[in-house]
Structure 1
Amino acid sequence: MSRKRYSKEKKHRSGEIPTGSFSDIAFLLIIYFLVATTLVKVKTIAADLPSGEKSSQTQSDKTPIVNLRGSEIFFNDKKVSVDLLNERLAELNLGEKIPSKRVIMLESTKGTPYENYFQVLAGISANQGVVAIVEDDK
């Protein structure tokens, strides 16, 4: 009797891996990740950067210049705060001007905190200005 029992057990075994529960496990993992994931809206800036082409006309001396020197912000060589800079940019009424007159020069030194750079760039963009980034050729 022991030989028959052994041979019956051997016949019932097949070489297949049971995959019937894989779809259930995948579904549960999808539900878990949907519930556990938090969706964060990233704050971005839509900025119109001028083309890199040089024109025959040069920028006038009246082009506003924003200098970022470390944690300090200068607007036309006068130290300002972020709020005061936004007020000065609003006074310029850049939205009413033609695109070539909306240019704001932005100069930055090494060591400028990213937060200041981001706030200034956001302020210029919010007031419909076009950013011209000044780089040293050194």
Structure 2
Amino acid sequence: MNLALWIATGLLAIVALASGINKTFLPKEKLAKYPGGEWVEDVSVGFLKTLGILEILAAVGLILPAVIDIAPVLVPVTAVCWVLVMIGAIITHLRHGDNKSVVANLIYLALAVFIAWGRFGPESFTG
């Protein structure tokens, strides 16, 4: 179970980091041309950059606290925050009729729920 949680955490951290780097450093116009990127046209550059930075921090929060053993409870807390971000992403993509992105968001949401459940519960870092 611990290995499965680490694999899920690693995958989710990679997704969060890649997405965050794109949103933080790529121009808004380029992001809007990606498949599923139509929603970018509805938000400000500031919102987009803030979301990107939060996604980068989520990638760090999923891995670093457990690895350095400082406040490892932040791992499941970050996973819960990611669930909230994915709910927002699902709503946004549904409004734009982008069902392929919704499927991906549901997978990321499921990974985050699994991590939160596992790290708050049976494979807690504190227990």
TM-score (norm. length: structure 1): 0.25
Bigger RCO (CA 8 Å, 6+ sep): 2
Report which of the two structures shows the higher radius of gyration computed on alpha carbons: 1
User: Which is strand-richer, 1 or 2?
Assistant: 1
TM-score (norm. length: structure 2): 0.26
